[in-house]
Structure 1
Amino acid sequence: MQLTFLVDNNAMVGSQFLAEAGLSMFIEADGKRVLFDTGYSDAFLVNARRKGVDLLDLDWIALSHGHFDHTWGLDMLLRLYCESPDREVRRARLVAHPKAVETKRHRGIPEFGPLLSPDKLASYFDLELTDRPMWLTDSLAALGQIERVMDFERPATLGERLEGGEFVPDDIPDDTALACVTDAGLVVIAGCAHTGICNTVEQARRVTGVDRVRAVLGGFHLQKAGPERLGPTADYLAALDLEGLWCCHCTDLAAKIGLAAKCPVREVGSGLTLTF
């Protein structure tokens, strides 16, 4: 498997890639091409061109959850489709939790979720809206709705979602992730890990049946995390004996420092390519 961070909050030192408060990755596994999240703007498209990644030729688009910093780039992707009449655009399959495409709001922002309706998305993609795990390739799985089993990763709400015609507190049941089975163990790929990165790793183990975890990467949603959350998280990840921990996006500096005291934290930024 090869994975490229198309956009992250940071860019690698000395690179010319764009950064933004969003996340998008491009993954190649088993001959399939997967776009995981799309960031906030067209930055992922600009960086993809610079990396030589053709986003008109995708097998899958997978969404980690329905927040704007992971889904609003879909608008820009469709614009690219429409502005490429001389190119054959492969009709990709799009997998997401059903609640990922619902209207959301937060702190007065009228739309905190995706801007495109399911009907509009279905005009361009074959939708797979499910809360169940799904294998995208022989080795790469979408994890479905993540079971919350860690007592230190308690459910928290962020804004509201529209459900049954009413807005309700959003505990983000649509949060999910990917996991790739390699010869040396699992690579767990999180978008934001609103349900907790340790819960996410445990879900990956259950879905794949593989216990050994070699790497964990992506957003860990550790912002202003207190010691009661950060300490057990670092202990859990340290016990995995990882090759590397590529934490980014929604993981603040204090969390990275805390994790680095016990775990092999690696640098991450737009344009970084990893091979497992």
Structure 2
Amino acid sequence: MIQIKILIENTVFQPDVCAEHGLAIYLKTRDHTLLFDAGQTAGFLRNSSVFGTPLEEIEKIIISHGHYDHCGGLLPLLEKNTRAEVYCKEEALIPKFSDTYQEKRQINLPLIHAYKKHPSRFCFVKENHELFPGVWIISHIIQKTKFENDDAKLYCLSENQFIKDPFDDEIFLLIEDDNQLHLITGCSHRGIINMIHTATMLFPGKSIKSVTGGFHLRNKDEQRIQLVAKYLNESQIEQINVCHCTGIEEYLVIKKNFRGKTAYLSTGMLVKL
């Protein structure tokens, strides 16, 4: 069994804990404890004390990509948990920018600061990597679709020039349990369809039972949302758990069209897969 605890997310419906535009997921497999992403701030550390979640037990930290809302609480976590290693792609440290507010601002400084202070605790993923038996970090995402990576306002620096961010730093997690796969994603900038397609290509003999995380559909055009919903419904996936950048209205479109189980995971929710 796999247990997923949402330590922080954009929404919250219980007292004494905070929400923020960010994501931190506490994962327990049969044998190991992981953290997937580290929020925008240290808010998830405060929430964990309310939940009784022992952050000291975390063995590995996976950062899905370099954006501030997935790594903002990393530095205080590394100071609280002094043994966990951080897994990400080195490309996550390339300066990244957003011009959402009509001026470019760097959005991966928290990860850079954490790396500068604790470089020995970072493990850069270059290829798909089996973290533990049955737990894989997937670093190469096959681009099946063209329409999913369309963030016109997100950039990175390449040879001192601003270019559209190709999100070469993005990774996702695959966990095998009872001969089925569970996919965990942070933002799906490279596309949730592309991630699912990649998983099926890598493990053709195994079915994907569940997909959990941010689908990056909030405020996207209706055609894209409908295409994603159609793909999910036509897949063999049994359970869809969304959060963070998916969007509430966009989730409702998925829920309406999906034949299996769906859930929106807000801060504090616990799911057993």
- Distance 1:106-1:14 versus aligned 2 partners, 3 A rule: closer
Match of 2:228 in 1: 233
Counterpart CA distance in 1 for 2:59 and 2:205 is 25
Aligned length: 265
Match of 1:3 in 2: 4
**What aligned pairs does 1:89-168 form with structure 2 within 5 A after superposition?**
89-90=82-83, 92-107=84-99, 108=103, 110-117=105-112, 118-123=115-120, 125=121, 127-168=122-163
Counterpart contact for 1:139–1:180, Cα < 8 Å: yes
Alignment of 1:63 onto 2:63:
yes
Match of 1:84 in 2: none
1:204 to 175, 187, 199: 199
- Distance 1:99-1:113 versus aligned 2 partners, 3 A rule: same
- What is the Cα deviation at residue 63 of structure 1? 0.7
Which blocks of at least 5 consecutive residues in structure 1 are unaligned? 82-88
- What is the Cα deviation at residue 145 of structure 1? 2.7
Amino-acid identity (%) = 26
Counterpart CA distance in 2 for 1:114 and 1:146 is 24
Counterpart CA distance in 1 for 2:205 and 2:108 is 33
Counterpart CA distance in 1 for 2:118 and 2:150 is 29
- What is the Cα deviation at residue 5 of structure 1? 0.9
- What is the Cα deviation at residue 109 of structure 1? 5.0
Counterpart contact for 1:40–1:71, Cα < 8 Å: yes
Counterpart contact for 1:142–1:176, Cα < 8 Å: yes
Counterpart CA distance in 1 for 2:3 and 2:187 is 20
- What is the Cα deviation at residue 268 of structure 1? 1.1
Counterpart CA distance in 1 for 2:76 and 2:205 is 37
1:147-181 CA-to-partner distances (Å, cap 9, x unmatched) read 11124435544422233344332122212211111
Counterpart contact for 1:185–1:211, Cα < 8 Å: yes
Counterpart CA distance in 1 for 2:152 and 2:111 is 23
- Distance 1:233-1:79 versus aligned 2 partners, 3 A rule: same
Moved more, 144-153 or 253-262: 144-153
- Distance 1:109-1:16 versus aligned 2 partners, 3 A rule: farther
1:270 to 262, 267, 270: 267
1:87-137 CA-to-partner distances (Å, cap 9, x unmatched) read xx32x22111211122212123532113243443314x1x22124211122
- Distance 1:27-1:224 versus aligned 2 partners, 3 A rule: same
Which blocks of at least 5 consecutive residues in structure 2 are unaligned? none
Which residue identity lines up with residue 42 of structure 1 in the other structure?
Answer: A
Counterpart CA distance in 1 for 2:127 and 2:63 is 14
1:12-38 CA-to-partner distances (Å, cap 9, x unmatched) read x34533211100101122422211100
TM norm structure 2: 0.88
Tell me the SS of whatever aligns to 1:9. Answer: coil
2:166 to 157, 171, 195: 171
Which residue identity lines up with residue 179 of structure 1 in the other structure?
Answer: L
Counterpart contact for 2:183–2:211, Cα < 8 Å: yes
Tell me the SS of whatever aligns to 1:136. Answer: strand
Counterpart CA distance in 2 for 1:249 and 1:188 is 16
Counterpart contact for 2:23–2:39, Cα < 8 Å: yes
- Distance 1:163-1:19 versus aligned 2 partners, 3 A rule: same
1:194-240 CA-to-partner distances (Å, cap 9, x unmatched) read 11111111122233444412111110000222232112211111122
Tell me the SS of whatever aligns to 1:168. Answer: strand
Match of 1:49 in 2: 49
Moved more, 171-180 or 236-245: 236-245
Which residue identity lines up with residue 7 of structure 1 in the other structure?
Answer: I
Moved more, 140-149 or 152-161: 152-161
Match of 1:80 in 2: 80
Counterpart contact for 2:251–2:264, Cα < 8 Å: no
Tell me the SS of whatever aligns to 1:4. Answer: strand
